[in-house]
Amino acid sequence: MSYADRDQRHIWHPFTQMSDWLKEHPLVIERAEGNTLIDTEGNCYLDGVSSLWVNVHGHDHPKIRRAVHEQLDRLAHSTLLGLASVPSIDAAEKLLEVAPRGLTRVFFSDNGSTAVEIAAKMAFQYWQQHPDRRLQKKTRFVALKSAYHGDTLGAVSLGGVDLFHQIFGPLCFPVYRAENAGCYRCPYGLRYPDCDIHCLESMEGILEHHAEEIAAVVVEPLMQAAAGMLRLPEGWLRRVRGLCDRHEVLLIADEVATGFGRTGRMFACEHEGVTPDLLAVAKGLTGGFLPLAATLATERLFEGFLGPVEAGRQLFHGHTYTGNALGCAATVANLEIFKAEDVLARVRARAARLAQRLEGLRDLAWVGDIRQRGLMVGVELVRDRETREPFDPAERMGHHVCMAIRNRGVILRPLGDVVVLMPPLSVTEAEIDHLVSALEASIREVAAG
């Protein structure tokens, strides 16, 4: 029996309508070289979404491979509950070296959802045990419309993508919802790109009226990724930081998608000189090799949890594989590569090339908008560019374009009708050129029916 048949017999795929999956012939990946994925039949594909936004330096960077091998020879895993471990200490130090200034503490977990959820629990508990009793009323969160922060229930509560999140509403805690800024489909009409004024007012209004009960604002800095690569306007994050300071509200930055060079800086917050009180990282943390995540905190936040053990102020949270040794070894190697190869300078050069090549797509009748930050791009397909009339979701245009591009040797995965381009940071100029010309040909092919 083929791998494809065996997959269809037993595997339940995430975010997938399995009745469609069972009718199609799944592509089965067997190995990878550089930025290329290779299937069981030997076909090669550019990994155009970095294996769901995680891969950073390609799939086989020798430094990460060696670091993981060497770590495996010493220790695969040991717990951080009651014990320390060498690789977790090394990884935390390296991470804080590159993190926004002012973050001093690292809490490890396994994935982006838990990294965000831990940040939310930290913010909540921080105020609960604050010596000023008035501040103990701070129990609620503000998040943006169309926010995506992961799939565990706390992260789902913070999320605002109706398609994913609505059904779980009865299980979730209520959240104040601020307008998402810079949205192509702004509910207030075609005011883009100046609708950000309205959006900031929405955040301002919530904080002015409800600050006494708000623990934290949670945002994806610069780019709301799963929402469909929605760009936040310049200066927005800095102004939200200012609002949080004014109203004694914590700022949680979810850099699970934007972290590790994706936007041309190590963290997106740096573009606006912002240090959040809590920073969630995951996807690119290990270079895309192993599942590891971290929640970074300021010393002030950390100190809010200190006290005699019988006071019960410790953070009651921990995952079995927290601080996994192999993941931490990969993290150290990942961060060393950034320095050794001046990766950020290369990302900025590649991003400029990508932007220039994407200009050519703007002439296509179906391309409504192209939104980019660094090597993070959404190409929004619409039925009519002038009126921004969308396709009927049932037509699955984004899906069809991503299937068509496979025949041209590229793997992409859309968000609805937004085609996402998230190549590894190690993408070459030739690969960028191929990616964009293959995308253009695929859009033309699907448009022609």
Of 111, 157, 331, 442, the one binding ligand PLP by CB under 6 A: 111
Map residue 53 onto helix, strand or coil.
Answer: helix
Kindly indicate which of the ranges 66-74, 106-114, 326-334, 429-437 contains the residues binding ligand PLP, using the contact rule CB under 6 A: 106-114
Q: Are 147 and 158 in contact (CB under 8 A)?
A: yes
- Cα separation, 92 vs 329, in Å, equals 11
Closer by beta carbon to ligand PLP, 153 or else 441: 153
How many residues contact ligand PLP, by CB under 6 A?
15
Touching ligand PLP, residues 272-301 (CB under 6 A): 282-283
Cβ nearer to ligand PLP, comparing 149 with 371? 149
Instruction: Give the closest residue to 96 by CA, choosing from 369, 281, 366.
Output: 281
Binding segment toward ligand PLP, per CB under 6 A, in 70-78, 109-117, 121-129, 177-185: 109-117
Quick note: the x/- pattern for ligand PLP over 190-229, rule CB under 6 A, is ------------------------------x----xx---
CA separation for the pair 115, 126 (Å, rounded): 16
Residue selected from 35, 88, 113, 442 as contacting ligand PLP according to rule CB under 6 A: 113
Nearest-angstrom CA–CA distance, 146 and 143: 9
Give the one residue of 56, 116, 376, 425 binding ligand PLP; rule: CB under 6 A: 116
Rounded least distance, CB 91 to ligand PLP, Å: 17
Task: Give how far the C-alpha of residue 89 lies from the chain's centroid of Cα atoms, to the nearest Å.
Answer: 24
- 6/13 with CB nearer ligand PLP: 13
Residue 300's H or E segment, with its range, is helix 299-303
Binding mask 141-180 for ligand PLP (x = CB under 6 A): -------xxx------------------------------
* Residue nearest ligand PLP (C-beta atom): 112
Identity of the residue, 120 or 367, whose beta carbon is nearer to ligand PLP in the bound complex: 120
Which stretch, 112-120, 175-183, 327-335, 436-444, contacts ligand PLP (CB under 6 A)? 112-120
Cβ proximity to ligand PLP: between 146 and 442 the closer is 146
Radius of gyration over every alpha carbon of the chain, rounded to an integer in angstroms:
22
Stretch that binds ligand PLP, among 15-23, 135-143, 252-260, 341-349 (CB under 6 A): 252-260
Which H helix or E strand runs over 37? strand 36-39
Q: Which CB, 115 or 344, lies closer to ligand PLP?
A: 115
Instruction: State how far Cα 411 lies from the chain centre.
Output: 19
Q: How far is residue 249's CA from residue 252's CA, in Å, rounded to a whole number?
A: 10
The number of angstroms, rounded, from the C-alpha of 331 to the middle of its chain's C-alpha atoms is: 17
Is the distance from CB of 147 to CB of 159 less than 8 angstroms? yes
Nearer to ligand PLP, 122 or 382 (CB): 122
Closest distance to ligand PLP from the beta carbon of 111 (Å): 3
Residues 6+ apart with CB under 8 A from 427: 35, 46, 350, 375, 435
Asked if 117 interacts with ligand PLP (CB under 6 A), we say: no
CB nearer ligand PLP, residue 373 or residue 400? 373
Token pair listed for 273:
């000189």
Q: Give which of 433, 434, 426 is closest to 410, Cα–Cα.
A: 434
Member of 58, 87, 112, 261 binding ligand PLP (CB under 6 A): 112
Cβ closest to ligand PLP, residue 148 vs residue 289: 148
Among 179, 196, 254, 270, binds ligand PLP (CB under 6 A): 254
CB atoms within 10 A of CB 408: 16
Of the candidates 295, 182, 203, the residue with the CA atom closest to the CA atom of residue 246: 203
d(CA 105, CA 440): 45
Residue 127 near residue 135 (C-beta atoms within 8 A): yes
CB of 190 to ligand PLP, least distance (A): 27
CB 446 within 8 A of CB 401: yes
- Closer of 420 and 439 to ligand PLP (Cβ): 420
Give, in degrees to the nearest 5, the angle at Cα 393 between 387 and 397.
80
What residues line the site for ligand PLP (CB under 6 A)? 111-113, 116, 148-150, 220, 225-226, 254, 256-257, 282-283
